[in-house]
Structure 1
Amino acid sequence: MADQDQNPVFQLQRVYLKDLSLEQPNSPQILLEQQQPQVDIQLNMGAEPIAEGVFEVTVTATVTTTVGDRTLFLVEAKQAGIFEIRNVPQDQLQLLVGVACPQTLHPYLRAIVSDVCIRAGFPPILLPEVNFQAMLEAQQAQAQGAPN
């Protein structure tokens, strides 16, 4: 039975929307524009230990849509999850927290952003698929001061 206490554990405890905002600073006048809007999507991820072997992981999307130099709408959503991760080596822990957890949360974030756009009266914006492995490596390189 003692061997079971040392088995690796990777378990999603909870998924929740941590933060959500929608801004339409130039409505209603900008809604009459006929130009095709420009869409900029920024993604970020974060992780914080909240207890022994328990982590809160977040994935944030900031979607800015502009027509010319004016903002049509701005959506920022932060999807979070609580993950229990125990008895794994440090290098695997980094991969789980930096890659596997965000991959688990991304579909929820994608659905939230799309739904908010529709409810705001715009076509849905679908977040692209993300290579969280490459994103983690870029963040690690930036933290070490190395060029990306």
Structure 2
Amino acid sequence: MSEHNNTVAAQEEPTSQFSLQRIYVKDLSFEAPKSPEIFREEWNPSIELDLNTRQRGLEGDFHEVVLTLTVTVKTGEEVAFIAEVQQAGIFLIQGLDAASKGHALGAFCPNILFPYARETLDSLVVRGSFPALMLAPVNFDALYAQELQRMQAGADVQA
């Protein structure tokens, strides 16, 4: 009888599942507005990185997460190039509570996508005949925690 109860209890417990289904480039853009003149100037770049994530539910427990990296590189006041990639992934997420699911979508999934986006940007920049662009790693857990704090502070102000 106790074996039967253990089997029933195991079947009733929800199982959590997280799996990556697909990684793909959703959008890609490169612009070098001052080429070829920019190649004749002294190379003293300043780099600006804009990073955004978004997610949307698909059918069932599938979710699309899109990590957008936009890099603007200037030398002096001139824009050398602007490169952007939207690196996306489809993830299956089942059996997680709301907080865990939010963390997975807001931090864990972008962390998986970032190396792919970084490599795509680097390749794109090199193909534009510019020096390699190796972006530093990003702490998506810290960014997600900051966003939660910002949202909480906004909710406190409205209350």
TM-score, normalised to structure 1, is 0.90
Aligned to 2:76: 68
1:42 aligned to which of 45, 50, 65: 50
Task: Determine which structure has more spread, i.e. the larger CA radius of gyration.
Answer: 2
2:119 matched to 1:94? no
For residues 1-148 of structure 1, what are the structure 2 equivalents within 5 Å?
A: 3=11, 6-144=14-152, 145=154
Quote the sequence identity (%).
36
User: Residue 44 of structure 2 contacts residue 76 of structure 2 at CA under 8 Å; is this kept in 1?
Assistant: no
Are the equivalent residues in 1 in contact too, given 2:47–2:74 (CA < 8 A)? Answer: yes
TM, length-normalised to structure 2: 0.84
1:45-79 C-alpha deviation (Å, 9 max, x unpaired): 11111122111011111110111221100001110
Cα distance in 2 for residues equivalent to 1:67 and 1:4: 61
Q: Deviations over 1:93-125 (max 9, x none)?
A: 111111111111111011101111111101111
Name the aligned partner's letter for residue 60 of structure 1. Answer: T
Distance between the aligned counterparts of 1:116 and 1:32, measured in 2? 20
Please list every run of 5 or more consecutive structure 1 residues that lacks an aligned counterpart in the other structure. Answer: none
1:32–1:15 Cα change, 3 Å:
same
Distance 2:66 2:150 in 1: 19
Residue identity in the other structure for 2:105: V
Q: Secondary structure at the match of 2:38?
A: helix
Cα shift at 1:4: 8.3
- Deviation at residue 5 of structure 1 after TM alignment: 8.5
- In structure 2, relative to structure 1, the CA distance for the partners of 1:4 and 1:82 (3 Å cut) is farther
SS at match of 2:44: coil
Q: Which moved more, 1:126-135 or 1:78-87?
A: 126-135
For residues 136 and 107 of structure 1, the distance between their equivalents in structure 2, rounded to whole angstroms, comes to: 18
Helix, strand or coil at the partner of 2:70: strand
Letter in 1 for 2:66: T
